[in-house]
Structure 1
Amino acid sequence: MPYLVPPLIPAGRLADSAQPDLALGDDLLLRPWRETDAPAVLAAFTDPVIQHWHLRRADSEDEARDWIDAWRSAWYSETGAHWAVVRPASQDGGTGQVLGRVALRSLTPALGHAECAYWMLPAARGYGLAPRAVSVLTCWAFDEIGFERLELVHSVRNEASCRVAAKAGFALEGVRRRGHLHADGWHDMHVHARIRGDATTA
């Protein structure tokens, strides 16, 4: 049965090319994850703040590497696009320090929809890096790939994520009641969104 509307983003738009690096100003970079980033992922998912808002934890570097493999594979299956937020090697003496993560998940390319996700390691919080990273990723998704709508969803109790959403230009559209089960019970969820043509903040 044929569709009445052609896909907004044709199949292969991501998978047919390598995942790019995205500049985050002159000092930081969004780059694809590497297996050598496993210690940073393990540190993130053993952090109590990150655990509080997520459903999973990492118990070993091997498990963290499995997650990284899944994130990298998602690009080629066009189900997700995941980047490490890093300070380039030239800026930190050669290590390419991982500061956090920003991603597009729940991709529906045919409809031009995706959801933004992110976290920052403790040492990188409080400097405005999360909204910067989300803004750069959002502009790339709209301008380079052709997405039409990006959502950003978080617990109504997560005030820090609400500030990130606002700074990155994601308008609050409503509340999804009992939208997510966390370790401490059901949370109502704020639903923010940006659509193509909204004012850019990057």
Structure 2
Amino acid sequence: MPFLISPVLTAGTLAGRPQPVLPADGGLVLRPWRAGDAPAVYEVFQDPVMHQWHARSADSVAEAGDWIREWRQAWEGEREAHWAVADADRGVLLGRVALRELRLEDGTAEVAYWTVPAGRGRGVAARAATRLTRWALGEIGFHRLELLHAVRNEASCRVATRTGFALEGTKRSAILQPDGWHDMHLHARVGPGTLPPS
């Protein structure tokens, strides 16, 4: 049975090119993950704030290294796209930004991010998410990006708002965290030129 619409993005849109390095405002750079980032990732996942909003923790530097290998393989398989967010001058890791739940044929993905404790309150997540969004919608041609966060995570809600992700609603009891089920805010941005014909 033939499809009546063409895919928004085709296979190879990401994997057919090297993962780019994306300079961001305020002296940040989004770069592919390196094996040498594993100790810093392990350290971040010892932070109680990370445990509050994430379902995973890292038991060792080796486990964090396995995650980094998975993140790099996810680009090649066009399942996800993960970047380290670093200080452009010193190379110090400040966070992560990612596109998850990639559906190239629909042109959709979910934006996710975290920051190291020293990077919080400095606009790191907002600047990184803004740069990633500009690349995904403007340069690659994604149609819709979603951003989900726990309703009680007010800092993440501020990041979503500052990066132009409109609040669309609440997904009730949507994510299980260590302290129980959380309602999630659903924010989204839609790319330019996406209105249906009149």
TM-score (norm 1): 0.93
After the TM superposition, which residues 104-119 of structure 1 pair with which residues of structure 2 at under 5 Å, given as runs?
Answer: 104-119=99-114
Query: Does residue 10 in structure 1 map to residue 16 in structure 2?
Result: no
Residue type of the alignment partner of 2:175: H
- What residue number does 1:33 align with? 33
- What residue number does 1:155 align with? 150
3-state SS of 1:110 partner: coil
Q: Percent identity?
A: 58
- What residue number does 2:130 align with? 135
Residue type of the alignment partner of 2:163: A
Output one character per residue of 1:106-128: Cα deviation in whole Å (capped at 9) or x when no partner: 00010000000000000011111
Residue type of the alignment partner of 2:84: A
Query: Does residue 69 in structure 1 map to residue 69 in structure 2?
Result: yes
Residue type of the alignment partner of 1:83: W
Residue type of the alignment partner of 2:166: A
3-state SS of 1:111 partner: coil
- What residue number does 1:188 align with? 183
Maintained 8 Å contact 2:28/2:128: no
- CA root-mean-square deviation: 1.1
3-state SS of 1:173 partner: strand
- What residue number does 1:120 align with? 115
Q: Per the alignment, do residues 26 and 132 of structure 1 end up closer, same or farther by CA in structure 2, a change over 3 Å counting?
A: closer
Structure 2: which 5+ residue stretches go unaligned?
Answer: 194-198
TM-superposed CA distance for 1:26, in Å, is 5.8
CA–CA separation in structure 2 for the residues paired with 1:4 and 1:43 = 49
Q: Would you identify which runs of 4 or more consecutive aligned residues in structure 1 move more than 3 Å?
A: none
Structure 1: which 5+ residue stretches go unaligned?
Answer: none
Query: Does residue 50 in structure 1 map to residue 45 in structure 2?
Result: no
Q: Which of 94, 97, 106 is the matching residue for 1:99?
A: 94
CA–CA separation in structure 1 for the residues paired with 2:126 and 2:2 = 40
